[in-house]
Structure 1
Amino acid sequence: MTCFTRLMCIIVLLLAPLTAAADASRTVLFDNSHGERFVIDGEGPLQLSGLAGVIRSAGARVAASDEAISDTSLQGADALVISGAFRALSQAEIQALVRFMERGGKVAVMLHIAPPLATLLERLNIRYTNGVVQENSDVIDGEPLNFRVRHFGDHAIFRSVESFSVYGAWGLMAGATGGRSVAESSPQAWVDIVGDKVQRSEETAAFAIAVAGNVGKGGYIVFGDDALFQNKFLDENNKALAANLAAWLVSE
């Protein structure tokens, strides 16, 4: 081995710990201040400890916050996850989120019930259906509310993902400006808009299950379902999606 080669090996060894430390400096914060019932420190089937573990495996620090969303509570965070909120965000919190994304922050939102997040979705120019999507394709165990999603747009989160499963997803609609649909149901899916449990042609469409967009230097992704990342449903495909989500959240 030449002196030059030995020198390069020493440099690589010295730099390796610094690289690992840099990755570990990325922080993903989970919001616990809006009535969320499924959290990262719970080990039950509907909890999010598995998702937290996947994010840690991506080299990031994971923490939870019980504080209202603000510039102060987001200080030091690189990404924020809002999963299964049951209480609405205030306008001040939404403005803080926008500033966070403008600075480069990433925000991932998963809906359990859509109405509490109506004001946030409106700010992101996203509308939601008045009920959950029912499928006629790729249905899981004969339950139309549970189905596999296979139609993807161009987004890093879905790279090399063949499908993922949802369990009661709200249909999303991106407005003319801002976000875009990045994952959709089949065109045979429907939402019971009339409420008579009869599928009609005007209720049938390909509904967005995930919408993504950019805000300043950062951006967001909104999923119409929060079950897909709960411990019980982290099968091989959903876990692959979680790994891609983690990589996106910690990317610069």
Structure 2
Amino acid sequence: MSIIVLAFLMMTAPVLAAEKVLFDNGHGQRFQIKEQGPLQLSGLAKVIQAAGLEVGTVDQPLSDATLAGARALVISGAFRPLDPSEADAVARFIQNGGRVAVMLHIAPPMATFLDRLEVRYTNGVIQERENVIDGNLLNFRVVRMKEHPLFKGVNDFAVHGAWGLINQTDSAQVIAATGFQAWIDVDQDQKQSKEETASYGLVVLGTMGKGSFLVFGDDAIFQNKFLEGNNKILAANLAAWLK
């Protein structure tokens, strides 16, 4: 009888859910994890699932309630800003041990939230002079990376229209950057000047309370079209970091 009862209990015992990663879908995002087009994020979702994580979306305003039960949050390609109450909720989520990855398509909508993370972005996209892809200065391979598990097995990764990132405090640090001849056309005269030329941050890693965050200056890194080679390895490492 005890064997029968044990078997019954095993059959009826609840299956433990995998740790969940939520993708924000409530701020005008045009690139989705459930779509299959070249600029969509379905490939990234599969990579995260392959790491043993459950993937879901949140369409409602970000709050303690909508983030409850999640291990991590991804905000990729937002076209609308987070409300102050949403920024507060995401900050609490990180402080309580959550992990958040932000990927910029257009940077201004994320300005208020990035301020909470004490990260700034440049007032234009980067044009690189080194490791350029197909002659387009906006598209290039990133080779300057600090030692970090995010870059394990990654010799370089490709970006296609990236914003520069600046850490404002020691609680965050730039862990990937351009070469020293990169520039941003601040005065929009289509000419590179000495004042516009520098090495610009592309990935920032930071901590807040018990949790941590990553900010990527480009969301195309993980879009289906570009999710190959080292970019795909980077995605797998990101999944491990989220976990």
Measured against the shorter chain, the TM-score band is over 0.9
- Relative to the length of structure 1, the TM-score reads 0.89
Tell me the equivalent position of 2:160.
Answer: 167
Structure 2 counterpart of 1:249: 242
SS class of match (2:87) = helix
Q: Deviation above 4 Å: which 4+ runs of structure 1?
A: none
- Pair 1:55-2:42 in alignment: no
Percent identity, aligned pairs only?
56
Q: C-alpha offsets along residues 90-122 of structure 1, whole Å, 9 cap, x if unaligned?
A: 111111111111111000000000000000111
CA contact (8 A) 1:106 1:218 kept: yes
Amino acid at match of 2:45: A
What is the aligned length?
A: 229
Q: For structure 2, list consecutive stretches of 5 or more residues without a partner in the other structure.
A: 1-14
What code does the residue aligned with 2:217 have? G
Q: Which residue of 2 aligns with 1:186?
A: 179
CA distance in 2, matches of 1:220, 1:214: 6
Counterpart code for 2:183: W
Aligned CA RMSD, in angstroms, stands at: 1.1
Q: Which moved more, 1:119-128 or 1:106-115?
A: 119-128
CA deviations 1:133-173 (Å, max 9, x no partner) are: 00000000000000000111243211221110000000011
State the partner residue of 1:4: none
Q: Deviations over 1:34-62 (max 9, x none)?
A: 00000100000000000000000000000
- In the aligned structure 2, how far is the partner of 1:121 from the partner of 1:159? 26
CA contact (8 A) 1:211 1:222 kept: yes
Deviation of residue 74 (structure 1)? Answer: 0.3
Q: Which residue pairs with 1:9 in the alignment?
A: none
Structure 2 residue matching 1:212: 3-state secondary structure: strand
Aligned position for 1:10 = none
Aligned to 1:72: 65
Q: How big is each residue's C-alpha offset from its partner over 1:151-209, in whole Å with a ceiling of 9 and x where there is no partner?
A: 11243211221110000000011113321101000111000011101001111111000
- Aligned equivalent of 2:213, options 213, 220, 233: 220
**CA distance in 1 between partners of 2:76 and 2:127 (Å):** 21
SS of 2:153 mapped into structure 1:
coil
Structure 1 gaps, min length 5: 1-20
Residue in structure 1 matched with residue 201 of structure 2 by the alignment: 208
Q: Distance in 1 between matches of 2:161 and 2:73?
A: 23
| 2:174 partner letter | S
Mapped partners of 2:234, 2:170: distance in 1: 26
